Amino acid sequence: MKLQQVLSSTRKAVDDYQMIEEGDKIAVGISGGKDSLTLLYALHALKRFYPKHFTIEAITVDLGHKGFDLSKIKALCEDLEVPYTIVETQIAEIVFDRRQETNPCSLCAKMRKGALNDAIKKLGCNKVAYAHHKDDIIETMLLSMLFEGRIHTFAPVTYLDRMDLTLIRPLMYMDETDIIGFSHKQELPIAKSPCPIDGYTKREYAKNLVRQLNQDNPGARSRMFRAIQNSQIKGWEKPDTKKEEQV
């Protein structure tokens, strides 16, 4: 996939849900994976011509796993002239060594988000961009149905009132396969997660399940996403729709 196609998909999401306003300072959460690096490229390119001016800051929360090398990502940010902040933490040691959590993902995610949000506020950002794509959204809905007994997935735009921070997901219209193609074409400097349970989570289970459902029923994945768009799930109404309902 070419950068122009990534930009087209990103801009559609940004426009559909009015994710960016004039003067926004947006933190881009960089995990080191293909998704977040694609998001960095997309927003860096978008800000050059988008009618509403905005700036971006790249941030990585280093969980403290040994062997997590961010040097190439740092070099990429320097090349793109994007400020890059690495937040050093001991989250891995706390979760795996001290507490020896049997289900570490929940605590790890909570601590990681806390560290990320603190850094974002210190940098003076009013928004944070997450790299969740279309497949993430579908998988989250499936996980919610299977393990929580409710129909729910994260929204394109979420306001975090406690932090006075708005969370946006500009890659929401992109397929994971397209991101994989883009990452290969651009030779993105992916820093693979050294987490010992990477690839063995419930999300990986949901990913495989969606893949199987789509294989058995071609088009099922697209229909699932369309069902989310047409649902009454909070946050999924497009801004124009909200205005029409108020009138």
Query: Measured between alpha carbons, how far is 212 from 227 in angstroms, rounded to an integer?
Result: 18
pLDDT of residue 245: 42
Please report the pLDDT score of residue 247 as a whole number: 36
What is the reported pLDDT for 123?
94
Closest of 93, 236, 71, 74 to residue 169, by C-alpha: 236
10-residue mean pLDDT profile of the chain (247 residues): values are: 90 96 97 95 95 96 84 95 93 77 76 90 95 96 92 93 93 96 94 70 88 94 94 84 43
SS3 content of the chain, % helix, strand, coil (to 5): 50, 15, 40
Q: Is the pTM of this model over 0.85?
A: yes
In the chain the domains, ranked by start, together with CATH numbers, are: 3-239 (3.40.50.620)
